[in-house]
Structure 1
Amino acid sequence: MSDPVTILVDADACPVKEEIYRVAQRYKAHVRVVSNSPFRVPVSERVKRVVVSDSFDAADDWIAENAGPRSVVITADILLAERCLKAGATVLAHNGKPFDLASIGSAVATRAIMEDLRAGMDGIGGGPPPFSKADRSRFLQSLDRIVVDLERAG
């Protein structure tokens, strides 16, 4: 029998924790909720809270170090996504959009360009679009499909 699928959650700004817990319970996957501060997590032997130091990138470092072929990383952080993909993990954004090796390079480049543009705008401008019900639904469907595929792959 292979190791269970483990879902690693970049939790500080994750709007889909409840959906993650539901999918994990359905497939008996393990969940690690990683953050710089404590979060409530369901009482379950498969769900663990991992509180790291508040040093810069401590949560990202923990996730990247623990990511592998039997893990799904949930993050909106493009640089963390890149590190986890290189470790063999499957990576999914909160809106259900997968990160993959074919597209991560352009995502990193776009991130750098946008960072430069924002730096020149002195706080003017928006941010990401509001999180919607469609995003939540797309995320749930994507996570479900990924966990099923990893379970089948054994």
Structure 2
Amino acid sequence: MTTLYIDGDACPVREEAYRVAERFGLEVFVVANGSRPIRPTGRPNVQLITVDAGADVADDWIADRMTATDVCVTSDIPLASRCLAKGGRALSPKGHHWTPDNIGSALAGRAVAEHLRATGINTGGPASLTKDDRSRFLSALDAAIQAARKPAPPKMMVPPGGF
């Protein structure tokens, strides 16, 4: 069964994700360290998980539970990479699908930006979320959930010595 994980502290599309998850009948875990209060949703399929403060504690909680049939919404590129490593799907709040083909360059770009910031260079922050971003996110989440729910194709067994 597919589960939706939301990296919750700064996720601007929680409400959109809740609606999509409800339509698909998915369980949702919104994981945060409580640095920004998140109001309870009143939705029976949504659980708010508050983890201890600390670097990557929420990410660890999600990555430890992620499976190949799950989807994670996150802006955190290292968390997206960890979700992909588990065979799951990850997408950003702007509707960008993280994949094994694009995650490496995203991690490299993040490392470069981190280095520039450490040397005092302002790399700017993320652009504000637009109406088009929200629309793209809804489409991307729908597609990710549908893909996650499809059974994996059967593996072809090759007999010893080939065919």
Q: Same fold (TM over 0.5)?
A: yes
Q: Secondary structure at the match of 1:7?
A: strand
Instruction: Give the match for residue 79 of structure 2.
Output: 80
**TM-fit CA distance, 1:57:** 1.2
Letter in 2 for 1:74: V
C-alpha root-mean-square deviation of aligned residues, in Å? 1.5
Structure 2 spans left out of the alignment, 5+ residues = 153-163
Q: Secondary structure at the match of 1:102?
A: coil
**TM-fit CA distance, 1:40:** 1.7
**Greater share of helix:** 1
**TM-fit CA distance, 1:147:** 1.3
TM-score (norm. length: structure 2): 0.86
CA separation in 2, counterparts of 1:53 and 1:30?
22
Which of the residues 19, 28, 44 maps onto 1:22?
19
Letter in 2 for 1:57: D
Deviations 1:78-122 (A, max 9, x none): 111111110111000110001011111111111101111222235
Instruction: Give the match for residue 92 of structure 1.
Output: 91
Same amino acid, percent of matched pairs: 43
TM-score (norm. length: structure 1): 0.91
Structure 1 spans left out of the alignment, 5+ residues = none
Are 1:32 and 2:29 an aligned pair? Answer: yes
Letter in 2 for 1:142: A
How many equivalent residue pairs? 150
Determine which structure has more spread, i.e. the larger CA radius of gyration: 2
| Shift in CA distance, 130/44, structure 1 to aligned 2, threshold 3 Å | closer
**TM-fit CA distance, 1:125:** 4.8
